[in-house]
Chains A and B, each alone.
Chain A
Amino acid sequence: MIDKRLALACLLLATATPLHAHLLKVFAFAEGERIEGRAYFAGGARAKGAAVEVLAPDGRVLAALRTDDDGEFSYQANAAIDHRIRVDSGDGHVAEWTVPATELEIAAPAAGDPDRPAAPTESTPEATPAETAAASVPATESPGDLEVLIERAVARQVRPLREQLVAYEEQVRLHDILGGLGYILGLAGLAAWWQASRRRGR
């Protein structure tokens, strides 16, 4: 009887596509200063109209957004800090994602962060006006811009790849299932052994 049930379970397992049933997922990547992301239910359905909170590392809410009809959202970052994205679809599904500060390209350090005092930037006493002028005029400015442009282009090109990687990582694979079943088998064995030793002791 148990064999039949196991066979049935295996059959169902073989025919069902392995997927993360009903799990809310979110990912977000930085493109320049913008954080673009998407929330979806594993299995493909987009999470429309879900509440999105953008949080600073200290838990401050930087922005409260909603996903659009494609489950997408975007946020203009204005500080080079880690951004924690928390999506709540309103029925108990919650998902989180962190965009590290290193992904964001924000020109002025913390320009938009009101908590931080204006950082002493270019006008350091060591640099004479002549030097800074010489350094910043055409020689450095255009390569810097080029670098930003290249980084943005690469980020855009790499994004589908990263999305694929995230989807791949989320997939439940056969070894997950077998691992779980193995644990159950092992625990049953442990329980049987304990019962047997107790019975012998009696």
Chain B
Amino acid sequence: MSARLLAERAPIAHIPDGVLAAPVLVTGAVVTAGAVLVGLRQLDYERIPQAAVLAAAFFVASLIAVPLGPSSVHLLLNGLMGLVLGWAAAPAILVALALQAVFFGFGGLLVLGVNTMNMAVPALVCAALFRAPLRRHPGRGAFLIGAGAGALGVLLTGVLIAVALAASGSALAPAAKIILLTYLPLALVEAVVTGAAVTFLGRVAPEILCPPEATGHDR
């Protein structure tokens, strides 16, 4: 693919209906259902407002195009969601994606499972990798941890989208490469934004990042 063609393409975040093969759709739906069930169980009273605010931010962020060179990107925020919400990120992402599909026409309802999986699994990976260090040193290195989560969340989403497309037919395999390349600048932007958000949260409301009770049951 020529650089010219690449520059004009914005990274795809929402796979539309009618692209993916049935096994991929089913896999996505099953994984999403499992993650959402676990997430709903972990969604305790204190987390509900946070999940709602982050779902709202995720929902709206897709509309705000950040110009980047000849192309433009929009934030995904799934790394931040994973850091703050943990498992509860899965239902929050599902709700936001469903609303984006209905109101904005992003993605589709049949591929909702796959799209949610592509965003939620990286969020969960970020939660597993970065929540513990963030809790151990609150305030110190928060920007770096946030940046790592932001970049990893976006890059993993790119990889998952590429895999979903590649698994749906050999004709889509070249698309996978394009997607990975277009996701690199997005990862940079996302890293900066997530790092800044985590630093800000750490200073203003550290209890959001390190809840006193890690298990999250009634306190």
Contact = CB atoms under 8 A, between A and B. Distances in A.
B165 A184 contact: no
A1 B205 contact: yes
Interface stretch (A105-113, A154-162, A186-194): A186-194
A192 to B, nearest CB: 5
Interface residues of B, number: 52
Contacts of B106: 20, 23
B204 A92 contact: no
A199 B48 CA distance: 14
Contacts of A188: 48-49, 51-52
Given A9-B57, A195-B48, A20 B175 contact: no
Interface size on A, as a range, is: 35 or more
B103 A179 contact: yes
A130 interface: no
A185 interface: yes
B37 to A, nearest CB: 14
B174 A13 contact: no
A23 B105 contact: yes
A181 B95 contact: no
B59 A22 contact: no
A49 B64 contact: no
Contacts of B56: 9, 180-181, 184-185
19 contacts: A13-B63, A19-B65, A20-B106, A21-B72, A45-B8, A89-B9, A91-B12, A92-B15, A170-B105, A172-B63, A172-B104, A180-B56, A180-B103, A181-B56, A184-B55, A187-B52, A188-B48, A191-B48, A195-B44
